[in-house]
Amino acid sequence: MGENTRIIFEELCPNCGGSIDDIKLKTIGVCGECLPTPAYNLSSSNIAEALRRTKKLRGYRIIAEVEEFMEKFREIFTKSTGFKPWALQEVWARRVFLKENFTLNRKILVTLVVPQDYSFPSILVVLNSSNL
């Protein structure tokens, strides 16, 4: 536990499900059991790699995969449009990756289709007949 620790979250390490303090959660994202040596300023893929090396990569795998996808999304989006994606567009892209459907409003259901190779996802918009 670092001297600046203010809060300890029980069972909230996203990797092992153990306790994690607020500083570690904010800066590294995994607890001291998972990554004993503080390694600040690491990208999520670096952290996943460090966990993989020590055979401790568990729940963090999906976080690293999402972040990897988001980096590709930002790159493709910026290259295609000349603009960086808005926060809402990033939220949608994240949902696409996680294959979540979501409702824009009561009448429109958006179904997201992601190709296996993580190429650019397509979006299927259908009218939600139950709410028409």
Sites of contact with Zn ion (CB under 5 A): 13, 15-16, 18, 30-31, 33-34
Whether the CB-CB separation of 51 and 15 falls below 8 Å is answered with yes
Nearest approach in angstroms of CB 13 to Zn ion is 3
Q: Which is nearer to Zn ion, 7 or 88 (CB)?
A: 7
The smaller minimum CB distance to Zn ion, of residues 20 and 93, is found at: 20
Distance CA 126, CA 113 (A): 13
Q: How far is the CB of 70 from Zn ion (least distance, A)?
A: 22
For residues 55 and 79, which CB has a smaller minimum distance to Zn ion in the complex?
55
93: number of Cβ within 10 Å: 23
Residue 108 beta carbon to Zn ion: minimum distance, rounded to whole angstroms: 40
The dihedral built from the CA positions of residue 59, 63, 64 and 65, taken in this order, carries a sign that is positive
Cα–Cα nearest to 97, from 107, 109, 89, 108: 89
